[in-house]
Structure 1
């Protein structure tokens, strides 16, 4: 971000605007919604500005701007629709110590004004850093349609009730109370009883919450997908939005972790093949401990939790502790990776089955039915196969596999830094060693990138004979 979004305190402080035409009017219609002291400096102000001055909604200085006019102003707008005059008044405002915005001049502005959805005191600010104002307006329109008009009323009443709600313990119970009010009880009371019904409904909800039994913890075992946040399921997004604790794998991308509730406790429980890892028993204990304290825990696993995710051990630990759980499946790396090379995992006349296999397990390199895998036309998706590549290559060649069998390795599948290595079984090593892959990689035995994909300039595909 080049602009850090903040809400500026302007109540009782000065906002000064230079200009009297259409650009000035557009800014003033927004500025006048605040409780700031607004001053307009304009030699030829529009009739509407004069009317606002007569109504004492702003102070009008009917001349060109002079030094000192922006003194003590927290914000200043140059809206003269004349580049030379805007530059002149901006320089004066800078000397007076104000933060300056020049309308339609992003480069010389110290701040920008976002598109705003106003449900006072709820304010949604939408910015595109000046790149796409039309898009910002479209988002504003969508939010205007989705956010009920009563939202501001509920927020104002909720604000007055915060001290009373402080009798609830911090954490899940208090958050559930406010969630029930804003999601259900509040809107229903306004709809059926009007404003006067909201406070009694809020008091009844507080009483019910105080006397309700403590909420038990719960665990969602969530698949984060291959890394692209657009491939995250809606159910996974919702789980992250309500999580108190997120216990995640090393391979979960930062873009997906950023979608979690900001107040959530984030715990890295990463594992790395043949490297530093948190023991599975320790992960199980960690999940159970947080859930026992009443937390909504999201156990976030790269790809799909049911594929090489040690899922059964975690479920067994939860069952033994009497903790409820739910599986939220994700897109597994094989599906994303094979899509990126324009192929399918099965094909009529080629293979009627596909194997998902791992290059190593808890005991070291994993053994498989190499004789079956060495047959022509077989397709396998090999997870965690980088360090086991020479072992896999040797076993397959030893059991009669064709050295020319296509092999494709996809690093960081679905991510912007995705890398594709197209090679053969005979060249799998030294190809992998020479490529120096550092990210998670998935190996396809028996598949090569489709010709149309190989020819694309958008794909980072390296071919090895």
Structure 2
């Protein structure tokens, strides 16, 4: 197998991206664009939308969150000010065009349902306060990722947010060292054991 073919079958590397000072552009205004927007709003509101049309849900979400929206088609250069672009349109030639353009601006690109035009994919994820768990099948089965996410979500107790706040406070107030590491490790292990035994 050539290096080129090996690269094609490699899985996505799991990473959590800090979105501070990262402007995001969504191209499209339909149901899929709305799904992506809902996910992104869990982490940032620095989002702009360009689309000729909007679904009812998309329109309400933009208005509710006071997001920037331009009613027009995408044109070359629109991504020059953005760090991330989401292409939520079924127009494959346009996806290819924007993906190629994103390389010029060092902009991360996600094209819905077109892995060939993606630098990253949206995982199925759980977010409870400071806890975020992402599940991905590298595009092999989004349905499996979704159902695994639902299964895991049902295992996690509602008290996880309070526990993580307590742990964060302890990390800030206790002096660094092996004793702190041991105590925090034992505390986390005990918490998991208590919830898994119920």
TM-score range, shorter chain: 0.7 to 0.9
Deviation at 1:80, TM superposition (A): 1.0
Gaps of 5+ in 1: 188-465
SS class of match (2:74): coil
Q: Following the alignment from structure 2 to structure 1, what is the Cα–Cα distance between the partners of residues 53 and 187?
A: 54
Q: Following the alignment from structure 2 to structure 1, what is the Cα–Cα distance between the partners of residues 67 and 134?
A: 24
Spell out, residue by residue over 1:242-282, the C-alpha distance to the aligned partner (whole angstroms, 9 max, x if none).
xxxxxxxxxxxxxxxxxxxxxxxxxxxxxxxxxxxxxxxxx
Q: Answer yes or no: is 1:177 the counterpart of 2:181.
A: no
Q: Answer yes or no: is 1:153 the counterpart of 2:166.
A: no
Q: Following the alignment from structure 1 to structure 2, what is the Cα–Cα distance between the partners of residues 26 and 7?
A: 19
Q: Answer yes or no: is 1:137 the counterpart of 2:163.
A: no
Deviation at 1:138, TM superposition (A): 1.4
Which of residues 73, 88, 96 in structure 1 aligns to 2:97?
88
Spell out, residue by residue over 1:313-342, the C-alpha distance to the aligned partner (whole angstroms, 9 max, x if none).
xxxxxxxxxxxxxxxxxxxxxxxxxxxxxx
Q: Following the alignment from structure 1 to structure 2, what is the Cα–Cα distance between the partners of residues 11 and 36?
A: 10
The alpha-carbon distance between structure 1 residues 42 and 93, as it changes in their structure 2 partners (threshold 3 A), is farther
How do 1:308-387 and structure 2 match up within 5 A?
Answer: none
Residue in 2 that maps onto 1:67: 76
Deviation at 1:36, TM superposition (A): 4.3
TM-score, normalized by length of structure 1?
0.37
Q: Number of aligned residue pairs: give it.
A: 185
Which of residues 30, 38, 41 in structure 2 aligns to 1:32?
41
Gaps of 5+ in 2: 1-9
Native 8 Å contact 1:50 1:60 kept in 2? no
Q: Following the alignment from structure 1 to structure 2, what is the Cα–Cα distance between the partners of residues 170 and 157?
A: 14
Q: Following the alignment from structure 1 to structure 2, what is the Cα–Cα distance between the partners of residues 32 and 123?
A: 14
The alpha-carbon distance between structure 1 residues 94 and 43, as it changes in their structure 2 partners (threshold 3 A), is farther
Spell out, residue by residue over 1:145-198, the C-alpha distance to the aligned partner (whole angstroms, 9 max, x if none).
101122123223422331223366244334213434x3479x8xxxxxxxxxxx
Q: Following the alignment from structure 2 to structure 1, what is the Cα–Cα distance between the partners of residues 137 and 54?
A: 30
Q: Following the alignment from structure 2 to structure 1, what is the Cα–Cα distance between the partners of residues 40 and 100?
A: 22
Structure with greater proportional strand content: 1
Which of residues 116, 131, 140 in structure 2 aligns to 1:122?
131
Structure with greater proportional helix content: 2
Native 8 Å contact 2:99 2:117 kept in 1? no
Spell out, residue by residue over 1:22-71, the C-alpha distance to the aligned partner (whole angstroms, 9 max, x if none).
11111111111112401111111222222222223421121111233222
* Higher RCO, 1 vs 2 (CA within 8 Å, ≥6 residues apart): 2
Residue in 2 that maps onto 1:20: 29
Q: Following the alignment from structure 1 to structure 2, what is the Cα–Cα distance between the partners of residues 46 and 4?
A: 33
Spell out, residue by residue over 1:201-256, the C-alpha distance to the aligned partner (whole angstroms, 9 max, x if none).
xxxxxxxxxxxxxxxxxxxxxxxxxxxxxxxxxxxxxxxxxxxxxxxxxxxxxxxx
Spell out, residue by residue over 1:334-382, the C-alpha distance to the aligned partner (whole angstroms, 9 max, x if none).
xxxxxxxxxxxxxxxxxxxxxxxxxxxxxxxxxxxxxxxxxxxxxxxxx
Residue in 2 that maps onto 1:352: none
